[in-house]
Amino acid sequence: MVAEVRGERLSTSDAAKKYKVNNEYVDALMEYLDTAGIIRYHDLVDNAAKLIDVSLAKNEFIEQLFNYKVVVVDEFQDMYQGLMTIIEKVVKYPTRGHALNTTKHLCIAGDPNQSIYEFLGSKPEMMKVIEHHFPEFPEFTVKHSVIKESFRCTPEVLKCAVEVCVPQSDVLSRSIHSVKESSHPPVIKEFKSPSEEYQFIIQEIIRLCCESGGMFKLSDFAVLARSNKEIEDFGSILANNYGIKSNKLNSSLSWIKSKVQIMLSLLNALERTSGSELPLLCILMFLDTEFGSKARISKIFSLSRTWGREEGLKTDSLEDYLIANSIGNVRKGFAIETVYKTSRHKKIIKRFNTFLESIGTQRQQLAQNYASQTPEMVLQSLLFMIENSVLKDYLNTPTGIKKSTNEADLDALRLSYTKELNEHLKEFELSLKSSYSHYQSKGVLEATGDSFVKHFLRNYNEEVLNNSPDTVNISTIHASKGLEFPIVFVIGTSPYTRGSWDALLTSDEHTSSSMARLLYVAMTRAKNLVYLGSAEVFQTKADLMKAFIY
């Protein structure tokens, strides 16, 4: 809904009808997002397109685009229509020193066999019909160049990936060859169950590490699967049964998807960044633990917005409203007691006030040390706010507890959760330290004037931690794209996903499919050796099977 309204594809009234919500709600939502400076990815793409169109309409060319003569797009097989619109506009944009009816030079690179983002709208055939996007430019001609050398995989790994996944009709893709030296052939192995496959993978990793005399480290191995649940199950067995840590490759760090994510809400509230009302709302939800909290917090937010407009505040009025309430500086109609009416609610109001005091003292302390903030200082501030509120209980309480859970299962659940919580807290601390290292080495304070907390909030998910040599890499195939590892295990048995690799391995018919492209990406992550799991015993493709060890 937001994307359609902001992209001017729907009016607010039409959006309200389509999504069956109140028209005033849509207006209020759009106003809040605009005043708080909050945009989503689709908004970014739409805004870029509008910026280009406006500059052309006003004949006020954007300097950078006007100067560009060449546009280079890598990983083009993952292009989807929304982003392709921006590419078209940039390529068609006027170029300094050239006629207005000419295009910039466009160079695209990609591998259609690695197109695995169909769910986002990408299509492997888009590379082959690029000229269709520029019909008004007859002189727009396309020259196809095929790179026939692979610098990642060994000849054995590449041969198997091509034979299994690339259609016979794709002569160009099947002509690719490796420039690396020969190595061990890929390994295919049949398993009766996922647990049997997981055990084999772990024991094989241990065997290779031991027998290689230190040549292989745990971080040289990657275990890939189609779903996050498979990866989580494998990582759990790896840790609980063998005491081996894993490094889950993801577009975001695991602590961000856990309860430890509340640290970001606290830091945003401390920093009072643009749009910090949303994190503060989340915190209030955790402070109000009584039944009906969502409705009450929603009413408080509406009251704060109305109060803020009367006070002449354009945005982020929630904290000011709560502070004004705590000192009795609001009119009767805006008093928080109009929402928190009962005697039981008094303790919630007290929690709000205590938290606001904590925010105030810690914000002042960090401000006094603006140029010398450290991870330790940040952790102390976070600990102070958590210890002085019910947020400590929130963090320490496992999710998924049911009234019917027996005591033994409850103890096991608490133990497992505590262990997981400790891991996420350690990872958060490492994120702080890693970000601080970048902050210092890049001289961010001198270059931008940003405090460490502000830098961390902007970059926490981009400044990736260094992997430990004592952890096994685990990942979904999608998250591993673009990476490479000496040895890769591709899980082939799964209780969570429909279908398997077996149809590709047993069929003599080569067809381009999303499953084939996914397996191609998985197998070609291996630089030296790939293991492929399967649920069947193979009796066909005898010529292909010669490339495998059983």
* pLDDT tens digits, 290-305: 999 999 998 998 899 8
What pLDDT, on the 0 to 100 scale, is given for residue 495? 79
pLDDT class of 313 with cuts at 50, 70, 90: confident
Measured CA distances, 255 to 210, 258, 432, 462 (Å): 32, 5, 12, 14
Q: Which two tokens stand for residue 338?
A: 């109009």
Taking alpha carbons only, the member of 108, 105, 106, 148 closest to residue 128 is 108
User: Mean pLDDT throughout 438-459?
Assistant: 94
Whether the per-residue pLDDT at 550 is higher than 50: the answer is no
CA distance 475 to 351: 41
Q: Cα–Cα–Cα angle for 127, 129, 134, nearest 5°?
A: 110
Measured CA distances, 497 to 194, 227, 248, 507 (Å): 12, 7, 19, 20
Same domain, 305 and 438: yes
Last residue of a domain, one of 459, 483, 499: 459
Last residue of a domain, one of 408, 429, 459: 459
User: Who wins on pLDDT, 253 or 11?
Assistant: 11
What pLDDT, on the 0 to 100 scale, is given for residue 120? 81
Same domain, 407 and 307: yes
Burial class (CB in 10 A: 0-12, 13-18, 19+), 344: exposed
For residue 11, tell me if it sits in a domain.
Answer: no
For residue 318, tell me if it sits in a domain.
Answer: yes
H or E element in which residue 523 lies: helix 514-523
Round the average pLDDT of the chain to a whole number and report it: 88
CA distance 268 to 37: 14
Edge-to-edge strand order for the sheet containing 245-248?
187-190, 526-534, 485-490, 221-225, 471-476, 245-248
For residue 421, tell me if it sits in a domain.
Answer: yes
Q: How far does Cα 116 stand from its chain's mean position?
A: 16
Q: Determine contact, residues 201/493, Cβ cutoff 8 Å.
A: no
User: Who wins on pLDDT, 38 or 308?
Assistant: 308
H-type alpha helices, 166-276: 171-174, 194-211, 228-242, 262-271
Same domain, 384 and 505: no
Same domain, 415 and 521: no
Least reliable range by pLDDT among 217-221, 485-489, 490-494: 490-494
For residue 13, tell me if it sits in a domain.
Answer: no
- Name the β-bridge partners of 178: 150
Give pLDDT tens digits for 67-95: 999 999 999 999 888 889 999 999 999 99
Q: Determine contact, residues 521/116, Cβ cutoff 8 Å.
A: yes
Same domain, 168 and 228: yes
CATH number of residue 200's parent domain: 3.40.50.300
Same domain, 316 and 421: yes
Measured CA distances, 400 to 403, 410, 414 (Å): 10, 10, 10
Same domain, 94 and 76: yes
H or E element in which residue 412 lies: helix 407-441
For residue 273, tell me if it sits in a domain.
Answer: yes
CA distance 169 to 99: 41
User: Who wins on pLDDT, 376 or 482?
Assistant: 376
For residue 4, tell me if it sits in a domain.
Answer: no
User: Who wins on pLDDT, 410 or 178?
Assistant: 178
**How many Cβ atoms are within 10 Å of 8's Cβ, its own excluded?**
9
Whether the per-residue pLDDT at 502 is higher than 70: the answer is yes
User: Mean pLDDT throughout 437-457?
Assistant: 94
Q: Determine contact, residues 299/335, Cβ cutoff 8 Å.
A: no
Same domain, 135 and 243: no
Whether the per-residue pLDDT at 309 is higher than 80: the answer is yes
User: Mean pLDDT throughout 27-49?
Assistant: 82
The SS3 assignment for 92 reads: helix
Give pLDDT tens digits for 125-184: 888 888 888 888 877 788 888 888 988 899 999 999 998 888 888 888 888 999 999 989
For residue 324, tell me if it sits in a domain.
Answer: yes
Greatest CA span in the chain, whole angstroms? 84
Same domain, 365 and 426: yes
The structural domain count of the chain equals 3
Q: Which two tokens stand for residue 128?
A: 């082959």
What pLDDT, on the 0 to 100 scale, is given for residue 544? 46
For residue 30, tell me if it sits in a domain.
Answer: no
CA distance 252 to 34: 26
Q: Quick one: what percent of the chain has pLDDT higher than 90?
A: 53
What pLDDT, on the 0 to 100 scale, is given for residue 54? 96
Same domain, 161 and 186: yes
Q: Quick one: what percent of the chain has pLDDT higher than 70?
A: 93
Whether the per-residue pLDDT at 507 is higher than 80: the answer is no
Whether the per-residue pLDDT at 543 is higher than 50: the answer is no
Domain with 350 in it: 257-459
pTM of the model as a whole: 0.75
Whether the per-residue pLDDT at 436 is higher than 90: the answer is yes
Q: How far does Cα 35 stand from its chain's mean position?
A: 26
What pLDDT, on the 0 to 100 scale, is given for residue 242? 94
User: Mean pLDDT throughout 37-50?
Assistant: 85
What pLDDT, on the 0 to 100 scale, is given for residue 175? 87
CA distance 211 to 484: 23
Same domain, 304 and 436: yes
pLDDT class of 365 with cuts at 50, 70, 90: very high
Q: Which two tokens stand for residue 319?
A: 């904290």
Check residue 527 and report its DSSP letter.
E
Same domain, 154 and 193: yes
CA distance 104 to 87: 11
User: Mean pLDDT throughout 271-294?
Assistant: 89
Last residue of a domain, one of 145, 176, 211: 145
